[in-house]
Structure 1
Amino acid sequence: MSLPQPVPPSWKDLGKSSNDLLGRDYHFSGTSLEVKTGTPSNVSFKVDGNRDSKSSFVSGNLEGKYTDKVHGLTFTQAWSTANALRTQIELDNQIAKGLKLETTTILHPEKSAKSVVLGAAYKQPGLHSRAVLDVFKGPTFTADTVLGRDGFLIGAEASYNVSEGRVTKYSAAAGFSAPEYAVTFHGLSNLSTFAASYYHRVSPDVEAGAKAVYDTKATSPGVALEVGTKAYVSLQGLFGLALDTQRLNDASPTGPAHKVGAQFVFEA
């Protein structure tokens, strides 16, 4: 008799541990600050900002979130320094077990631009499927599914432009996930870009990861490689350095071929 299968990660979360370590957690593009706070009334706030190391441009975002766990309702309102207003409403496990519905609207008052995205996700043991409809862009319908069994994962994604009546994008992925490590292979952008990522929790306080990307349409041939590690301390302050393995002879480690940055996170 086989053991009950867990719910696999969603398509966008395949390889997430490695991507977070090398991207979000191991910050390369500059210096960022993130502050999170919460209240006893199920309201949380998040303020984040980033200063780009190349352009010196500073961007920020203020977000408030209310969660009603009894009724499975989450309401999020965010406002960015680009004057973009984002509203998101989520309803989880109310219509059917494992079904989550959400609506996201983004408004740019100065540009008179708006976006409305309707989404649904369905999760069951061994299955994680999502569907998204971008109302004003296309409209474009995107669906993805991930199947999992005994740690092995396989998934696919496709986008369909309703007005044009054609498939505009498709991708596939496969991998293996265990409590201490994960390996993921992606074929993206209509199978023109291939990526392999690896994540390893060496100990409770140390993580390591690597990612290799090969773009068949790139003007310069070769494989882009990133590696990184993270150690936990009382204050989460992270410094990142990304080296272009094809330009290791560049004189400056912060030149065009390389990236350096830092990130600080405070949570209360």
Structure 2
Amino acid sequence: MSLPQPVPPSWKDLGKSSNDLLGKDYYFQGTSLEVKTKTPSNVTFKVSGKQDQKSNAINGDIEAKYADFKNGLVFTQSWTTSNILRSQLELENYMAKGLKLDLSTALLPEKGSKSALLNAIYKQSGVHTRATLDLFKGPTFTADTVVGRDGFLFGAEAAYNVTEGRITRYAAAVGYNAREYALTLHGLSNLSTYSASYYHRVSPDVEAGAKAVYDTKATTQGVSLEVGAKTFLDSAAYIKAKINNSGVLALGYTQTLRPGVKASFGLALDTQRLNDLSATGPTHKVGAHFIFEA
């Protein structure tokens, strides 16, 4: 008798280890600040802001989240400086074990534009399925499924336009997740774009990863390649570095200053234009990110 299989990751989380290693904690697009507080009644407030490096414009949002863990209910409301009102209602394990219902809405009063997404997520041993209905765009029905067994993962996604009566997007993926490494292959955009990602936990203090992307419809042929690594200096600090085949080197440093206070700094250098110190253009970038949490 085989052992119960763990719940596999969702479609959007396939290759997450490599994506997080190569995509997170690189703050070189200006300065940003994030403040989080939580009340004893499980209400969480988050205020975040970011100053654009080119225009110096400050964009921000304020978010309030209420969680009723006993009944599996989470309600989130946010308001941005672009005057976008977002609401999200999540209900998990209420109607059936492993089933989560999610309604996300957005409203832009100035333009009168609105959106609403109704999501259903079902998780059980060896399977992770999601279905999304975009009520105002199309409407469009999107479904994806990931099945897993003994570390092997197989996933597929498809979008169906209800009004036009046709499939507008489809994709597939295969992967393998082990304790210390993961491999994922994607065929995206109607199988016109292919990506392969790799993640390896070399030791408790060192992680490495790579990602290659080939777009058959791109104007410039060739494979885009990116490799990176993360090293923990101690329990409160780590440094990350990555480089792509265009010669752009990115560095990130994150330091926990004290419990609830974290600072991150990022730097991006175009190694093919190191002598170009012009203030205009995206040649070299630097930025910082601060998090205060209570």
Change (3 A) 1:204 1:41: farther
Q: Is the 8 A contact 1:193 1:214 kept in 2?
A: yes
Kindly indicate whether the alpha-carbon contact (under 8 Å) linking 2:182 and 2:199 is maintained by their aligned counterparts in 1: yes
The CA deviation at 1:264 is: 3.7
Q: Which amino acid aligns with 1:6?
A: P
Map of 2:98 onto structure 1? 98
Q: How many residues align?
A: 268
TM-score, with structure 2 as normaliser: 0.82
| Gaps in structure 1 of 5+ consecutive residues | none
Please tell me the residue identity of whatever aligns with 1:46. K
Structure 1 55/20 Cα, relative in aligned 2: closer, same or farther at 3 Å? farther
Aligned position for 2:36: 36
Q: What code does the residue aligned with 1:251 have?
A: R
1:87 maps to what in 2?
87
Structure 2 residue identity aligned to 1:229: A
CA contact (8 A) 2:127 2:145 kept: yes
Shift of 1:67: 0.5
TM-score (norm 1): 0.89
Matching residue of 2:228: 228
- Partner in structure 2 of residue 144 of structure 1: 144
Separation in structure 2 between the aligned mates of residue 121 and residue 156 of structure 1, nearest angstrom: 15
**Structure 2 contact 231–240 (Cα < 8 Å) conserved:** no
Amino acid paired to 2:187:
G
Distance 1:208 1:137, change over 3 A: same
Q: Name the CA distance, whole Å, in 1 between partners of 2:240 and 2:178.
A: 27
**Per the alignment, do residues 258 and 215 of structure 1 end up closer, same or farther by CA in structure 2, a change over 3 Å counting?**
farther
1:14-93 correspondence to structure 2 within 5 Å: 14-93=14-93
Q: Alpha-carbon deviation of 1:37?
A: 2.5
| Aligned residue number for residue 157 of structure 2 | 157
Give the drift of 1:230: 2.7
Aligned residue in 2 for 1:267: 293
Distance 2:67 2:176 in 1: 33
Q: Percent identity?
A: 66
- When residues 241 and 201 of structure 1 are mapped into structure 2, their CA distance, relative to the original with a 3 A threshold, is closer
Structure 2 runs not aligned, ≥5 long: 249-269
The residue type equivalent to 2:151 in the other structure is G
Matched position secondary structure for 2:132: strand
1:53, distance to aligned residue in structure 2 (A): 4.0
Structure 1 residue 245 corresponds to structure 2 residue 246: yes
Q: Secondary structure at the match of 1:218?
A: coil
How far is the alpha carbon of 1:56 from its aligned partner? 4.3
Report the aligned-residue RMSD.
Answer: 2.5
| Contact 1:71–1:94 (Cα < 8 Å) also in 2 | yes
